[in-house]
Structure 1
Amino acid sequence: MGKVGRSRTHKGNRDKYRKYRTRNYAKDLDQVHEDIKKVTENGGDETILKIQEWNEDLPGLGQYYCIPCARYFINSEALNEHQRGKNHKKRVKLLKEVPYTQAEAEAAVGYSTENSRGNAIIN
């Protein structure tokens, strides 16, 4: 018996994978932080994000929304089950960290707007 050749079944699947990956993309952490900031500016009232107008295109008509994960659920049982799960708890833990600002990012690279370096080098 000779060697069996490879089947070559996965040729050209890269574009399909990328299409589904971008379609299922959720909000980033900084976008969720902006949503949470809106809630805190409103006095801690989460109803502005949770209770919305009925939308037939969303699961559960858009009434069951998880703010940290930015996901809609079909009913309250599914939402409660999600909130007990590992993915939700991980997302909440990540959201406890304060997001970086543009000034902090520029300072890390070396683009500082302060003149503190000029004062330190004077001899």
Structure 2
Amino acid sequence: MARIRRKRMHCNNKELHHKYKTKRRTKDLDQIQDDLKPENKARLLSQDADEDLPGLGQFYCVECAKYFVDDRTRLEHRRSREHKRRLRDLKEPAYTQKEAEAAAGLSTDNGHTSSLSAPGPMSLLSLKQKTDQGLANKTASKRPAMDVE
């Protein structure tokens, strides 16, 4: 009689294994686009020797944010599919905070935030702040003016 396979397959699930793989994780695209600015790029390409990095930190690919052992391996990397894919991804500009808010529906085309200008439903925090401001204005108007001499 054969043993029935269990349903829990976390150790054999390749998608799950690759999802949590963080050993060789590099920088995100927006961080690399900041590194590609001329002042940052010059600083990264002319680093001091560091014993902890491969190749003493002298052979660095700025676009992929990786260190290499020697110049030959860096040149082979530059011809690879991985490097070319990263270059293609870097051609698109990084998302800004303004674009993210527009995608979430928090701002309009004229730059005003919709939560302040639209009469739609408001969050509990904004309602609390609004009532606190109203109470502060009422108490300030009820207080008698103090004469300072």
| TM-score normalised by the chain length of structure 1 | 0.73
Q: How far 1:48 moved relative to its partner?
A: 1.7
* One-letter code aligned to 1:27: K
Aligned length: 108
Which of 34, 42, 52 is 1:47 aligned to?
42
Does residue 58 of structure 2 align to residue 63 of structure 1? yes
Q: Distance in 1 between matches of 2:10 and 2:107?
A: 48
Q: Corresponding residue for 2:80?
A: 85
Q: Corresponding residue for 1:21?
A: 21
Deviates more, 1:94-103 or 1:104-113: 104-113
For the aligned residue pairs, the C-alpha RMSD in angstroms reads 3.0
Contact residue 66 and residue 72 of structure 1 kept, 8 A: yes
The structure with the larger Rg is 2
* One-letter code aligned to 2:26: A
DSSP 3-state at the match of 1:21: coil
CA distance change for structure 1 residues 56 and 109 in 2, over 3 Å: closer, same or farther? same
| TM-score normalised by the chain length of structure 2 | 0.61
Does residue 68 of structure 2 align to residue 73 of structure 1? yes
Q: Distance in 2 between matches of 1:51 and 1:116?
A: 44
Q: Distance in 1 between matches of 2:100 and 2:74?
A: 36
Q: Distance in 1 between matches of 2:43 and 2:93?
A: 22
Deviates more, 1:46-55 or 1:95-104: 46-55
Q: Corresponding residue for 2:33?
A: 33
* One-letter code aligned to 2:48: E
**1:69-110 CA-partner distances (Å, limit 9, x unpaired):** 000000000000000000000000100000110001101111
* One-letter code aligned to 2:88: K
Does residue 105 of structure 2 align to residue 106 of structure 1? no
Identity of aligned residues (%): 44
Structure 1: tracts of 5 or more residues without a match: 119-123
Q: Distance in 1 between matches of 2:10 and 2:95?
A: 41
Q: Distance in 2 between matches of 1:46 and 1:12?
A: 41
Q: Corresponding residue for 1:3?
A: 2
